[in-house]
Chains A and B, each alone.
Chain A
Amino acid sequence: MNDFWTATILVATVASGIRLATPFLLASLGEALGQRSGVLNLGVDGVMLLGAFGAYYAVLKTNNLLLGVAVGVLLGALLGLFYAFITVNLRAQQGISGIGIYLFGLGMSDLLFQKLVGTPRPIMPFAIVRFPVLSDIPVIGEMFFDHSLIVYVAFLLVPLFTFIINRTTYGMNVRAIGENPEAADSLGVSVGRVRYSALIIGNSLAGLAGAALAIELGIFQQNLTNAMGFIAIALVYFGAWRPIGVMAGSLVFGLVASIVLQCKTLGIIPRSASDLAAMAPAVITVLALVVVANRFRQPAALTKPYIRGQ
Chain B
Amino acid sequence: MSPEVNRVNHFKANLIRIVIPACAVVSALLLGAVMLGTLGANPLSGYVTMFSAAFGNLEGLANTAVKSIPLLLVGIGICIAFRSSVINIGGEGQMVVGALLASVTALAAPDLPSVVFIPLVLTVGFAGGAVWGAIPGALKAYFNVSEILSTIMLNIVAVQIMNFMLRGPMIDPEEVARGTRIPQTARLPENTDLPMLLDGLRVHLGFLIALLAAVAVWVLLWRTALGFRLRSVGLSRDAARYAGIPVKRSIITALAFSGAMAGLAGAILVFGSESHRMVTDGSSTGFTGSAGFNGIVVALFAGLHPLWSIPSALLFGGMLVGANALQRALQVPSALIIALNGLIVVFVVSSEYFRQRVQRGREVAQTLDEPAAGVAAGADPQLERVVE
Contacts and interface: CB of A to CB of B under 8 A. Distances in A.
Direct contact of A and B (CB under 8 A): yes
B87 A95 contact: yes
Contacts of B341: 100, 103, 107
B211 interface: no
Given A111-B333, A115-B39, A285 B349 contact: no
Contacts of A230: 89, 152
Chain A binding surface, main DSSP class: helix
Given A86-B349, A282-B154, A282-B156, 8 more contacts: A90-B352, A107-B335, A110-B335, A222-B335, A233-B149, A234-B152, A275-B163, A298-B146
A97 B301 CA distance: 11
Q: Tell which of A92, A231, A233, A290 has the most Cβ of chain B within 10 Å.
A: A92
Interface stretch (A14-22, A132-140, A301-309): A301-309
Nearest to B146: A237
Given A275-B163, A275-B164, A303-B384, A92 B152 contact: no
B39 A99 contact: no
Interface string B145-186: 110111011101100110110011000000000000000000
A262 interface: no
A180 interface: no
B11 interface: no
A63 B339 CA distance: 28
Interface string A44-57: 00100000000000
A115 B339 CA distance: 14
Nearest to A235: B149
A91 interface: yes
B205 interface: no
A310 B377 CA distance: 21
Contact of B349 (A93, A107, A237, A281): A93
A111 B335 contact: yes
Contacts of B89: 42, 230
A91 B378 CA distance: 9
Given A92-B378, A283-B157, A108 B346 contact: no
Contacts of B335: 106-108, 110-111, 114, 222
A164 interface: no
Interface in A102-139: 102-108, 110-111, 114-115
